Structure 1
């Protein structure tokens, strides 16, 4: 059974590395993500994006090689080296640039926390396990026990990945909010700004542009069922304002919308979807 688990580690590591490389290689905001990481301080602002993309390319190449026979021993040793490198980078970030984004996986921005170290440590354990495999993952049919062990391992990776919170942790928190009625027994019918901010911070719209924001809440106003909240932002080195439309009387983070507007020209620089029309 342990041999089957070891052989399956190549699949687990490959999946994690493909996901990790995605945010470093795909999308219009790769440069902004790179500049929010400690790479900006480590290699310089001009080299941050190329270094960020290079790491993503290495991850993708290693992920592909782990899926192909027959030299899984060499590939698993490379995964061990990469895991050790991740731990070193996280340590450097935590000490030298604690406010920087991890830039570890996916396209979401997340700070370096104990979960980041836990995930990198688990990746190291998985790579060490893969190095002890005596056969490739495609050369034997795993039993139910081996599949169950790997499933638990995958769930640990998910639990340690802050970038995936929106898929399982945030829905649970949203359910809790709905069940506990956070606006019950308030002194008036006015919705506190903190409540709107709480909803905003848990929205996909906020996560999409978080790397571009340069201030806390700058202004806010209500129009009908919507509360508009603005932040100072930067888009392609242009001074801009990010405006969010947040449902005012209901908790629906998925309905939050955002637009980034150039401060000088008034041009809309970024708007994933149209802002809702106030009632």
Structure 2
């Protein structure tokens, strides 16, 4: 009985996800620009990329509405399975052939296709397959909705487009509590001015080869501004945290530490900079 309830809940989840995905492709004004950043230009040509991108969004919307409305969820789940298979194959292609291309799945994120995007597509495929076994309507799922909440949480964690709503605040909190450059920063200094000082500093030159992004996050704490970049150190995901003092404009006063993305452990801190200032 519980398995039937779980299966019945899947069309609701898939329908909402596909509506979210289709919105970015069909409604957003920058969808044409987003299409150019995907692997579609290499597959269908520059001129056809935007129309194909919007067409896929339209297909997603139609399947989503069919899944959310009665009466035949099993039949309607089959196109969702085909769509998920297509998504997965496309993302694997993009990852291998055009690694710099963005996913183009939802939102306007320009982040390249990664394992999270492929994992999300595989999870969508699994939920679509489960939906083909549904024998009751999704609003009768009952306790199956509990599993739906857990699945939705996993989808959120696999969606880079949503990182700014939950992951970045958690990273900021963790770094404020645990990072090795805790000190003090003001909101009065423009970020551009901080960035110029940072780029001229020995600290930036010491870790420039490890950085994998532009400024990822920043915050002030009394007399210091902290600026973070995503990085990799010995093949491990990491965060480079720069401490830029407001009241000392010398490049040598900037400090840096590279910390492990998961544990917050300090992986690298240039010793010549640790004693600077």
Q: TM-score, normalised by structure 2?
A: 0.66
Aligned partners of 1:136 and 1:161: how far apart in 2? Answer: 27
Aligned partners of 1:70 and 1:181: how far apart in 2? Answer: 54
Aligned partners of 1:202 and 1:21: how far apart in 2? Answer: 29
Aligned partners of 2:176 and 2:217: how far apart in 1? Answer: 14
Cα shift at 1:182: 5.8
**Unaligned 5+ residue runs, structure 1?**
204-224, 227-247, 251-279
Aligned partners of 1:129 and 1:120: how far apart in 2? Answer: 14
Contact 1:22 1:107 in 2 (8 A): no
Aligned partners of 2:89 and 2:141: how far apart in 1? Answer: 36
Cα shift at 1:183: 4.4
Q: Deviation per CA, 1:36-79, whole angstroms, max 9, x where unpaired? A: 00001110111111011111111111111101111211210010
Q: For the pair shown, which has the larger CA radius of gyration, 1 or 2?
A: 2
Alignment partner, residue 175 of structure 1: 173
Alignment partner, residue 192 of structure 1: 198
Aligned length: 202
Report the secondary structure of 1:192's partner residue: helix
Contact 2:176 2:182 in 1 (8 A): no
Residues 141, 125 of structure 1: CA spacing in aligned structure 2 closer, same or farther, 3 A cutoff? Answer: closer
Alignment partner, residue 38 of structure 2: 37
Taking only aligned residues, the RMSD between alpha carbons, in angstroms, comes to: 2.8
Which residues of 2 match residues 60-209 of structure 1 at below 5 A? 60-138=61-139, 140=140, 142-143=142-143, 146-180=144-178, 183-184=181-182, 192-193=198-199, 200-202=215-217
Contact 1:14 1:67 in 2 (8 A): yes
Aligned partners of 2:182 and 2:173: how far apart in 1? Answer: 15
Contact 1:101 1:110 in 2 (8 A): yes
Aligned partners of 1:201 and 1:132: how far apart in 2? Answer: 43
**Unaligned 5+ residue runs, structure 2?**
185-193, 219-223, 226-243, 247-277
Cα shift at 1:128: 0.6
Aligned partners of 1:117 and 1:202: how far apart in 2? Answer: 25
Q: TM-score, normalised by structure 1?
A: 0.66
Task: Verify: 1:12 aligned to 2:13, yes or no.
Answer: yes
Alignment partner, residue 233 of structure 2: none
Residues 166, 131 of structure 1: CA spacing in aligned structure 2 closer, same or farther, 3 A cutoff? Answer: same
Alignment partner, residue 273 of structure 1: none
Report the secondary structure of 2:215's partner residue: helix
Report the secondary structure of 1:28's partner residue: coil
Aligned partners of 2:54 and 2:245: how far apart in 1? Answer: 42
Residues 202, 185 of structure 1: CA spacing in aligned structure 2 closer, same or farther, 3 A cutoff? Answer: closer
Alignment partner, residue 53 of structure 1: 54
Residues 47, 141 of structure 1: CA spacing in aligned structure 2 closer, same or farther, 3 A cutoff? Answer: closer
Aligned partners of 2:92 and 2:130: how far apart in 1? Answer: 23
Report the secondary structure of 2:83's partner residue: helix
